[in-house]
C-alpha cells in the first residue's frame, strides 16, 4: 500500500503511531513460553510459536487503536527458518486485522541482489508461469547510503505494486553523528541523503502530497526533524526513538506537517513490554499494550492533533 493508504488508516484511528513487533523470547509473558515449550520442547520452533502467539495477542488488542505494525526482521532471523516463516505468518495476520505492515529490513545491497530483496519483500517471485507473493509487506525500510543502486530496485517494485519504502536519513542512535553530521559541500551528510530521498521520489505524489520514498528520521533529533520536515515537504517520515530511546511527544511534533499528517512514530518495547510493569506476570499483556498505545497516542495528538 502507498503512504496514502497509511495516512488514511492514521486518520481513521486518530493515531499517528506504529507498534513495533520486535520480540525476543524474554519479552514474551512466561505462560506463553511455557505453553510452547510443553508442546515443542526447548527448540527454535517453540520460541517461534510463543512469539507468534504473543504477536497475535498484541495485534488483537491493538487493532483499531494503532494503524500499523512494524516487525523487525532481525528478531525473526534470530530463530532461523522457523522465525522467518513466523514473520510471514505475522504479516498475514496483521493484514487480516487491517493493519498496515512496515517490514523493518533495512536492506542496502545493489543490482540483482537488491532486486531479489525487493521482489521477495514487496513484490512477487516467479515459479514457472506463476507470480507468487512472498512476504508481501506494504512497505519496507532500506539503507540508501550506497546510493540510488540500493534504492531503485525497491522503488521499481513499489511502483508496480502500489507500495512504499522508507530510506534511512537521520537515524536515532547516538553514534549517527560519526557519519551523518559530517559536512559535504556545505551540507551535513544527512541533509544530502534527504535531498536524495526527495529526488528518488520525484514524479509521484499521492492524494496527501507524499511520494513513495519516505525517510527514517529519529525522534532523538528534534531540531533535525524540524529542519528536514521543512526541506522535504513531500516525504513521509518514519520516526523511531520514542520512549525507550528518549524521544518524547514534544520532540516528534516536528515530524508532522501543518495538518498533523506525513509521519508515523514507532514504539516497540514501550508497547510490547508494558505488561512487565503491571505486576500480573503477563496475563494482562494485551490490555497493558493497549493502554500503553492509547497513552502514546494521546500524548502525541495532544500536542499535534490530526486535522
Verify whether residue 106 is a known catalytic residue.
yes
Which residue is catalytic, options 97, 106, 124, 156?
Answer: 106
DSSP one-letter string for the chain: --HHHHHHHHHHHT--EEEEE---GGGS-HHHHHHHHHHH-SSHHHHHHHHHHHHHHHHHHHBTTBSEEEEBHHHHHTTHHHHHHHHHHHHHHHHHTT-EEEEEEEE---HHHHHHHHHHHTSEEEETTEEEESS--SEEEE--TT-HHHHHHHHHHHHHHT-EEEEEEE-SSGGGHHHHTSEETTEEHHHHHHHHHHHHTTT---TTS--SEEEEE-TT-HHHHHHHHHH-TT--EEE--BSTTSB-HHHHGGGS-TTS-SEEEEESHHHHTGGGGTTSTTTTHHHHHHHHHHHHHHHHHHHS---
Catalytic positions, written as ranges: 106
Amino acid at each position: 500500500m502507498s503512504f496514502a493508504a497509511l495516512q488514511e488508516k492514521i486518520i481513521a484511528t486518530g493515531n499517528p503511531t506504529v507498534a513495533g513487533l520486535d520480540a525476543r523470547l524474554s519479552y514474551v509473558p512466561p505462560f506463553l513460553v511455557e505453553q510452547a515449550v510443553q508442546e515443542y520442547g526447548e527448540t527454535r520452533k517453540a520460541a517461534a510459536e510463543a512469539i507468534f502467539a504473543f504477536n497475535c495477542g498484541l495485534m488483537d488488542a491493538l487493532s483499531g487503536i494503532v494503524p500499523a505494525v512494524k516487525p523487525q526482521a532481525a528478531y525473526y532471523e534470530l530463530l532461523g527458518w522457523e522465525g522467518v516463516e513466523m514473520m510471514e505468518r505475522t504479516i498475514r495476520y496483521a493484514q487480516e486485522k487491517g493493519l498496515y505492515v512496515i517490514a523493518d529490513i533495512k536492506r542496502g545491497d545493489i543490482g540483482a541482489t537488491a532486486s531479489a530483496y525487493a521482489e521477495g519483500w514487496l513484490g512477487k517471485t516467479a515459479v514457472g508461469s506463476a507470480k507468487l507473493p512472498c512476504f508481501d509487506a506494504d512497505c519496507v525500510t532500506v539503507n540508501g547510503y550506497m546510493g540510488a543502486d540500493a534504492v531503485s530496485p525497491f522503488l521499481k517494485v513499489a511502483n508496480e505494486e502500489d507500495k512504499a519504502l522508507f530510506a534511512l536519513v537521520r537515524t536515532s542512535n547516538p553514534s549517527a553523528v560519526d557519519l551523518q553530521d559530517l559536512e559535504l559541500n556545505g551540507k551535513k551528510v544527512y541533509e544530502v541523503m534527504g535531498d536524495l530521498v526527495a529526488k528518488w521520489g520525484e514524479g509521484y505524489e499521492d492524494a496527501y502530497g507524499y511520494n513513495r520514498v519516505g525517510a527514517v528520521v529519529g525522534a532523538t533529533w528534534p531540531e533535525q526533524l524540524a529542519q528536514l520536515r521543512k526541506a522535504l515537504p513531500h516525504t513521509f517520515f518514519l520516526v523511531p526513538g520514542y520512549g525507550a530511546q528518549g524521544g518524547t511527544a514534544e520532540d516528534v511534533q516536528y515530524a508532522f506537517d501543518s495538518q498533523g499528517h506525513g509521519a508515523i512514530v514507532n514504539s516497540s518495547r514501550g508497547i510490547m513490554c508494558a505488561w512487565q510493569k503491571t505486576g500480573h506476570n503477563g496475563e494482562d499483556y494485551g490490555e497493558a499494550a493497549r493502554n500503553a498505545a492509547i497513552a502514546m497516542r494521546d500524548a502525541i495528538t495532544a500536542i499535534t492533533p490530526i486535522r
